Amino acid sequence: MISVWLYGTSRGINSARELSERCDWEPGLQWLCAMGSVNYHSLSTFRVSHGEALKKLFAQVLGVLSAQGLVKLERLTVDGTRIRANCSNESFLRGQKLQEHLAAAEAHMEALEQQPEDTTKRQQAARERSLREREQRVAAAQEQFKQLQQQRGPSEAAQAQLSTTEADARIMKQSGGGFAPSYNLQLATDEKAKIIVAAVVSNSGTDTQLLAGVMDEVKEICREVPNQVLVDGGYVSADNIGKMHDRSVELIGPVPDVAAANKQAKQRGVSEAYFRDAFRYDIDQDTYQCPEGKVLVHIRQRQREGGRIEHEYRAKGSDCAACPHQMECCPQARRSVRTIVRSEPSENVKAFREKMQTDQYQQLYRKRSEVAEFPNAWLKEKLGLRRFQLRGIANVAVESLWAATTYNVQQWIRLVWRRPFTPVGV
């Protein structure tokens, strides 16, 4: 069964029904099945029922590749790619409509259960399976909605969108443009031969909070962490720099564009003449002076994630109340008093910025795209992993691990097992 699924996945066959049909005529599958056939229910059940065993198999394949010198674990890249979920945009509802749909689905299932059973055993089994799957989907949507209510509160949860058929999926921006229900597949790839050493599935649309989890997965599978990890700008944050430092992993990535970040932060109705850059900082007095000559004094400091320290400065209420430009300077302030926040990066962030300005680390970072994009393109173009067949984040994680294992076996065949042809007599 493992061989059938690895072979089918290598041919871009991700459907259990299609794989079962091809077992009757496709030569490779006929040989693997000894000219027999395999029921698609058996194939489907096998694919999702042995997640832990598949993870061990994935680790064993990595062991073989490491013995062949294809995995060094000296330098990894981590990159995420969005894979479409097995649901439609129309299945996403929010607030009251979502609750009404879930209530109607429960009532419909109860009505079906009370209908007389004047059907064949096969029809009855199919009906029970359909009811069971629908109950699971409704229960998953209800659980997700309850979690959103606890995390965001009833008002914000009412605005959140959830799918009634794939509760774990989220609407995400696609690389080619537009938005679609998707999962975020994170791949950790070894630089030596572009071998995947970890695959983590998330329903988070951003990559920033996922790096630590990927490194934990690498350590669990490989029993160690790499010396360096190359990432794009989506992973670079003070928190991640600190976490990688604590794990003795050197983070290599682009330095955030501070100017662009400050420009984005200015979108609060403030006139350009009163942007933060227009306030002059006095390092000796530790104060700011506004364009109108009023002083903002230091009132407090806060410790933020990653060791970053924020210093807050505030003007006098009487100065702002008497200022004719108050609505241009602080139109949305709570007490109509202007405040300025100055961030002081941690020592780890300072060291990161300094090293990334050197030619050595700039050259290392240029290698990221070549290594990180290769497995993403292979999974989508050669294995056809553009849309998951399974539903639920746990099953999707298993499906992605099948694809990652197949990819690694293909790289082993391509780089080591398949010897170059040598003509006779040469």
Tens digit of each residue's pLDDT (9 = 90 or more) over 154-175: 666 566 677 878 888 988 988 8
**Mutual orientation of helices 238-246 and 211-222 as an angle, nearest 10°?**
20
Amino acid type, 398: V
pLDDT of 181 higher than 80: yes
Give the model confidence (pLDDT) of 32-58 as tens digits: 999 988 999 999 999 999 999 999 999
- DSSP annotation of 416 reads I
Residue 262 has pLDDT above 70, yes or no: no
pLDDT beyond 90 at 373:
yes
Closest among 156, 104, 176 to 134, alpha carbons compared: 104
* Of residues 330 and 386, more confidently modeled: 386
Q: Give the chain's length.
A: 426
What pTM value is reported for the model? 0.79
Instruction: Name the residue with tokens 């590749």.
Output: 65
% of the chain at pLDDT higher than 70 = 79
Q: What pLDDT score was predicted for residue 111?
A: 63
DSSP state of 255: P
Dihedral angle sign, alpha carbons of residues 47, 53, 59, 60? negative
In 3D space, the residue among 190, 212, 211, 210 whose CA is nearest the CA of residue 202 turns out to be: 210
User: pLDDT tier at 383 (50, 70, 90 boundaries)?
Assistant: very high
Residue 230: is its pLDDT beyond 50?
yes
Write phi, then psi, for 272 (nearest 5 degrees): -60, -30
Average pLDDT over residues 103-120: 63
Q: Who contacts 42 (Cβ-Cβ below 8 Å, separation ≥6)?
A: 1
* pLDDT band per the 50, 70, 90 thresholds, residue 261: very low
Name the residue type at position 10. S
Which tokens sit at 153?
């509160």
* Average pLDDT estimate for 244-272: 73
Whether the Cβ atoms of residue 411 and residue 70 lie closer than 8 Å to each other: yes
Report whether pLDDT(192) > 80. yes
Arithmetic mean of pLDDT over the chain: 85
CA dihedral (142, 144, 150, 156) positive or negative: negative
Q: Which residues contact 41 (CB under 8 A, 6 or more apart)?
A: 16
- In the chain, DSSP finds a helix count (H) and a strand count (E) of 17, 13
